[in-house]
Amino acid sequence: MYEHCPHCNFRYEIEPGYFWGAMFVSYALSAGIALVMGFVLFYGFGDPEGWVYVIVIAPLLVLLTPINFRISRVLWLHFVSGVRYNPNL
């Protein structure tokens, strides 16, 4: 992640440890993904055994970690710090 915005020079990490809050956003996203996959397995595949849930959901969450990490920071910036996207800057 850039330290400053390449267009408007906005400093992303407003204060030290600013992105700790993004950790909670990341947790919520992961829980949501796990919940949706649990419903898909339950209703779509007729409630398989417990280990199937683990084999499907755990690797999926690990694979999505890089995306989840970035999306969480972007969501944190937009909804907590009040940063608004302005493509004209």
Interface ranges with Zn ion (CB under 5 A): 5, 7-8, 10
First to last CA, the chain: 19
Q: Which is nearer to Zn ion, 5 or 23 (CB)?
A: 5
Q: Which is nearer to Zn ion, 57 or 73 (CB)?
A: 73
Q: Which is nearer to Zn ion, 30 or 81 (CB)?
A: 81
CA 20 – CA 15 distance, rounded (Å): 11
Residue 84: CB minimum distance to Zn ion, A: 10
Are residues 89 and 8 in contact, defined by beta-carbon separation less than 8 angstroms?
A: yes
Are residues 60 and 41 in contact, defined by beta-carbon separation less than 8 angstroms?
A: no
Residue 5: CB minimum distance to Zn ion, A: 3
